[in-house]
Chains A and B, each alone.
Chain A
Amino acid sequence: MTATAAPPVAGTVTEPPVHKASLRKRLVPYWLLLPGILWLLVFFVLPMVYQASTSVQTGSLEEGFKVTWHFQTYWDALTEYYPQFLRSLLYAGTATVLCLLLGYPLAYLIAFKAGRWRNLLLVLVIAPFFTSFLIRTLAWKTILADGGPVVEVLNALHVLDVTSWLGMTEGERVLATPLAVVCGLTYNFLPFMILPLYTSLERIDTRLHEAAGDLYARPSTTFRKVTFPLSMPGVVSGTLLTFIPASGDYVNAELLGSTDTRMIGNVIQSQYLRILDYPTAAALSFILMAIVLIMVTIYIRRAGTEDLV
C-alpha cells in the first residue's frame, strides 16, 4: 500500500492511460473525415479515374472500348469543338459579370440597409430553389416567348436594336438567341453570387465605414477603399460559384437557345447520350475541367485574396 503511494510508482501507473487518451484524441479528426472521404472516393475519385481511362480508349459500342492510350482524341475534340468552348466561356463570363452587377447592390442593400427586412429578403433570394432548376428554366421560355410582353417592351424601348447590333439577338426574337441563354444563366446562378457576397459584406464592421468617413473619405471613396476591398473574398467565391457551373451548364442553352448557341455542356451531353462516343465526351470533360482550373488559378492569384481571409 505504501509503495503505490510513492511518487515513482504513481508515475508509472498513470502514464499509459494518458498516452492512450492522447492517441484516441489524435485519431478523432480522421474518424470525422472518414464518411466524407468514403463518399468522395466512391462518387468522385473512382468516376474520375474511370472517365480518364475512357478518354484514352478507342472502339465502338458494338465492338467494345479498349484502353489504347489514344491521346489524339483530346486534340481532335479540341480542334473540332473549340467554338463551343469559347462560347461557353463567353456566355459564362458574361453571365458572371451580370450576376456581379445585379447581385452586389442587392447583397449590399441586404447587409447594410435592409434592417428588419433582412431575413425576408434573404429568403426571397433563396426562394427560387424551392422549385426545380428545370421548371424555372422552362418558365423563362414562356417569359421570353416571341410576341410576349417582355419582348414587346424590349422592342419598344429599342433594347433589341442594341442587342442585335451586339450579335446577341436576331430581329424581334429573344428566345433561341445568345441573349436568352445568358439571361437564363444569369437568373439561375444569381443566388450563388448573392449569398457569398452577402456573407462577406455582412461581416464588415460598420464602424469601419464610420472610421473612413471620419478620416475624410466621402461615401464613394469609403466604398472603393474599404468596403469593396473587404468584400473581395465574397466577390471571388461568388464569381467562382457562378462561373464554374455556368461554363459547364447545358440546360439553359438546350431550353432557351438554338443550335447556334450550343455550349460545351450540350456537346458533351450529346456525345454521351446520342452519338455514344464516350472517349470524345470524356476527353471534352477533361479539357473543360483543365481550362476552368487554369482560369480559376490565375484569377485567384490575381485577386490576391489569400491574405484577406
Chain B
Amino acid sequence: MTDKTAGGDVRLAGISKHYGSFTAVHPLDLTIPQGSFFALLGASGCGKTTTLRMIAGLEEPSTGTVSLGDSEVTHLPPYKRPVNTVFQSYALFPHLNIYENVAFGLRRRGIKSVKKQVDDMLELVELGQFAQRKPHQLSGGQQQRVAVARALINHPQVLLLDEPLGALDLKLRRQMQLELKRIQTEVGITFVHVTHDQEEAMTMADTVAVMNGGRVEQLGAPAELYENPKTTFVANFLGTSNLIEAEVLEAGGSDVTVSSAGATLRLPAARCSTTPKAGGKLLVGVRPEKMSLVHADEEDTVAAGRNKVRGTIAASSFIGVSTQYVIDSPVCPELEVYVQNIERDARLAPGAEVVLHWNPEHTFGLDAAQDIDAGIETVEEGA
C-alpha cells in the first residue's frame, strides 16, 4: 500500500477532522491505489462521509494532508480539484435539464463543444432519450445515473460516491451496483465509495476500509475482511460471527487450544489477531455457515479433530436455500448456524439436543479485551 510508483493514487496522510470538541475522524493514513474500487464502510456517524468530503475539498481537514498523485490538494477549493462527487441526494440542478446537468462541469471548464461528449455519456448511462427532461421528471434510479454521468463526464482522477444507492429500493440497488461496477471497469477511474451496506461494499469494492468511531478498524479485500476479521466490530459488522469467550490452555505451536464451558476447541495461531498466552483469555470466532449440525444421538459420526460444541436448538427459521438455527449452548447462549437444505433432518426442531462441529481451520481468534457486541446493533439499523 506504500508503493508510490502509481501516479494517481489518493494519499491521505494523518488527516483528521474535529468539530469543536467532537472528533469526527481520528488521524488517518490511507492510500487508495489508482484505478481501484475502494469502499469506506461503516455505520452512520463513523466518519466515512467526512473522510470523503475531505478528499472532495468540501471539508477542510483539521490536521494532515490530502494528495492526488504527486500534487498536494489539502487546501485547494473543490472547484480546483480533479475530483468529482456523486452526492447522496444526487444534488441535481432542478432548474436545468438532464443535458445541461451533465454538461455543467464541461462548460465551467470553458469547453465549448460539449454535445458529442454529453450524448456519449448519456448513452453510457442509457438515458439518451431523457436529455430534455428536468430532474424531477425522472425516477430515483434515473436521477442516480444522471448524477454519475454528470460526475464521470469530467474524467476525474477520482470519483467519490457518497452513499449513492441509499435512496433506491433493494432490487434497483442490486442492479445499480452491477452497473456502477461495469462503468468503473470500463472507464478505469478510481472510485471511492462510501456506504453503510456491507453487502454493497463487498460486492463492489476491491478494497474495503471498515470505519468505526472515526477510525479505520481494518482494511483489506472483502474476502480477507470476512474470513479474518481483526476486531469484534469487523467480525460482527461484516456478516454474522459467533464469538465464544474462551480460556487459552495451550499456545506457542501452530495451533492454539482453548477451553470454554468444558468444550475444548482448537484454532490456527496464524488466525489470531492477538498473541494468545496460556492462561489468558481469547475470543474464538466462527462464521455461521462454516458450522455443521447433527442430532446429539449421532455425535459419534462427527469426524475426529473437528471442534465440537453441544447445545439445544432454541429457534429455527426455514429460508429456502438454507435453514438458520439459533443454538443455546453452554459456550454461548445464542450460536447461529446456517445449514444448507440438502437433506433435512426432521429431528432438528426447537428443543432438540444437537452437536455443532466445524473444521478448526475455520476458526479465528480475537483479543478478549474488546466489547464482544461491537458492531451488532449497527448492522440491524443499516439493514
Contacts and interface: CB of A to CB of B under 8 A. Distances in A.
B87, B91, B154, most chain A CB atoms within 10 A: B91
Contact of A214 (B85, B93, B109): B85
Contact-residue size bin, chain B (C-beta under 8 Å from the other chain):
20 to 34
A225 B103 CA distance: 13
Nearest to A213: B78
Contacts of B316: none
Interface string B131-169: 000100000000000000011001000000000000000
B56 A215 contact: no
Given A216-B108, A221-B108, A211 B95 contact: no
B84 interface: yes
A213 B95 contact: no
A230 B94 contact: yes
A217 B108 contact: yes
Contact of A215 (B57, B58, B134, B150): B150
Given A212-B104, A213-B79, A217-B108, A207 B91 contact: yes
**Residue among B56, B83, B104 with the highest chain A CB neighbour number at 10 A:** B104
Nearest to A204: B94
A215 B84 contact: yes
A133 B261 CA distance: 85
Interface in B282-310: none
Contacts of A307: 134
A62 to B, nearest CB: 61
B95 A217 contact: no
A14 to B, nearest CB: 37
B105 interface: yes
A308 B154 CA distance: 27
Contacts of A218: 77, 79
Given A207-B91, A208-B91, A218-B79, A213 B58 contact: yes
Contacts of B109: 216
Contact of B58 (A208, A210, A226): A210
Contacts of A167: none
Report, as a range, how many residues of chain A touch the other chain.
Answer: 10 to 19
B274 interface: no
B378 interface: no
A216 B105 contact: yes
B89 interface: yes
Contacts of A211: 85, 87, 91-93
A128 interface: no
Contacts of A208: 91, 93-94
A211 B151 CA distance: 9
Contacts of B79: 213-218
A205 interface: yes
A83 interface: no
Contacts of B77: 213, 218
Interface string B186-199: 00000000000000
A229 interface: yes
A207 B53 CA distance: 12
A207 B162 CA distance: 12
B79 to A, nearest CB: 5
B108 A207 contact: no
A292 to B, nearest CB: 28
B95 A210 contact: no
A212 B84 CA distance: 10
Contact of B91 (A210, A221, A225, A308): A210
Interface string A194-234: 00000000000101101111111110010001100110000
A205 B93 contact: no
A220 to B, nearest CB: 11
A230 B83 CA distance: 25
Nearest to B56: A214
Contacts of B92: 211
A25 B314 CA distance: 54
Nearest to A216: B108
Nearest to B78: A213
B20 to A, nearest CB: 14
B103 to A, nearest CB: 10
A215 B149 CA distance: 12
Contacts of B78: 210, 213-214
A162 B108 CA distance: 39
A226 B104 CA distance: 11
Nearest to A218: B79
Nearest to A232: B95
Given A211-B87, A214-B84, A229 B108 contact: no
Contacts of A207: 87, 89, 91
A57 B60 CA distance: 73
A215 B89 contact: no
A215 B95 contact: no
A308 B109 CA distance: 26
Contacts of A216: 79-80, 105, 108-109, 154
A204 B80 CA distance: 24
Nearest to A205: B91
Given A214-B58, A214-B79, A216-B108, A308 B95 contact: yes
A32 B95 CA distance: 34
Contacts of B80: 216
A215 B109 CA distance: 9
Nearest to A226: B93
Contacts of A217: 79, 104, 108
A12 B80 CA distance: 73
A165 B94 CA distance: 45
Nearest to B160: A214
6 contacts: A205-B89, A211-B92, A212-B104, A213-B79, A218-B77, A226-B93
Interface of A: 205, 207-208, 210-218, 221, 225-226, 229-230, 307-308
Interface of B: 56-58, 77-80, 83-85, 87, 89, 91-95, 104-105, 108-109, 134, 150-151, 154
* 9 shortest interchain CB distances as A-B pairs: A211-B91, A215-B105, A216-B108, A213-B78, A207-B91, A214-B85, A217-B108, A229-B95, A216-B79
Given A205-B91, A212-B93, 18 more contacts: A208-B93, A210-B87, A210-B91, A212-B104, A213-B57, A214-B56, A214-B57, A214-B79, A215-B108, A215-B150, A215-B151, A216-B79, A216-B80, A216-B105, A217-B104, A225-B104, A229-B95, A307-B134
